[in-house]
Amino acid sequence: MRRKPAVAGQFYHESSTRLSHQVRQYVADNLPKEHALAILSPHAGLIYSGAVAGEVYSRIVLPETFLLLGPNHTGLGARMSLMPRGEWEIPMGIFQIDEQLGRKILSNSPSVSGDSQAHMFEHSLEVQLPFIATFREP
């Protein structure tokens, strides 16, 4: 299953080119980078949270895999959910879900449910992806 963008055109630009330019205004390529076990990044529309998110992502060495945690603002789906398989799409690209990691989390975390519905219209994780995509670009 491919999760389509829920807030493109609202929380950030819906065209790939415009979104790339929008994110680039908030990031700095020349900052010292650290390996981080965890980061905390805001999840509002980029006009509100982009400067802080850009500062955060500009200072980390991107890991190969991210485990993104966020609130469920919509109330849809399970209270604590994980999208166990598929892809997330944003205008700048497609992200593959690490299904092996998802299975491990689900088998070791009884309070987490495999539930794609909770993620369908939720913006909190989606607005992180343009920053990850920007720093993964060659």
Reported pTM: 0.94
Tell me, which fold does domain 2-136 have in CATH?
Protocatechuate 4,5-dioxygenase; Chain B (3.40.830)
Task: Please give the Cα distance from 74 to 70 (Å, whole number).
Answer: 12
The set of residues, in sequence order, having a beta carbon less than 8 Å from that of 96 and lying 6+ positions away, is 87
Q: Give the domain ranges of the chain.
A: 2-136
Residue 24 token pair: 């680039």
Do residues 12 and 46 make contact, with C-beta atoms less than 8 angstroms apart?
A: yes
Determine the Cα angle at 60 with ends 55 and 66, to 5°: 110
Question: Checking DSSP bridges between strand 113-114 and strand 81-82, what pairing results, if any?
Answer: parallel
pLDDT tens digit at each of 138 positions of the chain: 899 999 999 999 999 999 999 999 999 989 999 999 999 999 999 999 999 999 999 999 999 999 999 999 999 999 999 999 999 999 999 999 999 999 999 999 999 999 999 999 999 999 999 999 999 965
